[in-house]
């Protein structure tokens, strides 16, 4: 059962957030996938305007984040100038409390100020099941290009590895708040 969202702050990533975020993922044993250098890069990309990073903090500290890439690697989004919500993570302790939905609300509002369409990709393994369901429930629909691997649409007959780089991409019309 979903618990109510407690007092949660959602704001843009700041330099003093980088270490607490990396530390939270180290505690989960995810440091190889979520190193400190990644968040330093995200901050630099935010400063240049290439990426926007929303972070969530609650009474227990860091709770989650997501990023918006304004010039995505996924070719169909890049060609159509569709900003992409990427690297969306909510800590296990903060899941099912509305943190993810609040982050998505902020991302969609930011995108709506620049584009009528938001894009998002989701992995194809069971680990991504909750995200797959969330995106559909929020009104995202497949973009019609089928599966993609490492940002490139997979062509018929192509063999791909089922890993975090195999994704299905979705879009949603967003409106200005």
Crossing angle of the two packed helices 36-48 and 18-27, in degrees rounded to 10: 150
SS3 25: helix
Does the model's pTM come out above 0.85? yes
- Across the chain, mean pLDDT equals 91
Angstrom distance (rounded) from CA 42 to CA 107: 15
Angstrom distance (rounded) from CA 157 to CA 35: 35
- Residue in the block written with tokens 């930011």: 110
- Residue in the block written with tokens 């939905």: 101
Residue ranges and CATH numbers for the domains of the chain are 9-173 (3.40.630.30)
- Listed residue (115, 175, 119, 112) closest to 144, CA to CA: 119
CB within 8 Å of 91: residues ≥ 6 apart: 24, 28, 62, 63, 64
List, for residues 38-87, the tens digit of each pLDDT value. Answer: 999 999 999 999 999 999 998 888 999 999 999 999 999 999 999 999 99
């Amino acid at each position: 059962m979903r618990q109510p969202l407690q007092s949660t702050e959602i704001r843009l990533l700041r330099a003093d957030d980088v270490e607490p975020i990396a530390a939270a993922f180290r505690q989960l044993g995810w440091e190889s996938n979520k190193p400190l250098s990644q968040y330093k890069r995200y901050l630099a990309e935010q400063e240049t305007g290439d990426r926007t990073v929303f972070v969530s903090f609650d009474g227990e500290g860091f709770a989650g984040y997501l990023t918006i890439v304004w010039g995505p690697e996924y070719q169909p989004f890049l060609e159509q100038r569709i900003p992409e919500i990427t690297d969306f993570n909510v800590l296990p302790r903060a899941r099912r409390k509305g943190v993810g939905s609040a982050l998505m609300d902020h991302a969609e509002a930011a995108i709506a100020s620049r584009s009528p369409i938001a894009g998002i990709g989701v992995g194809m393994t069971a680990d991504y099941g909750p995200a797959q369901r969330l995106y559909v429930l929020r009104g995202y629909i497949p973009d019609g290009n089928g599966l993609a691997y490492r940002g490139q649409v997979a062509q018929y007959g192509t063999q791909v590895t089922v890993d975090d780089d195999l994704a299905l991409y979705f879009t949603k019309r967003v409106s200005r708040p």
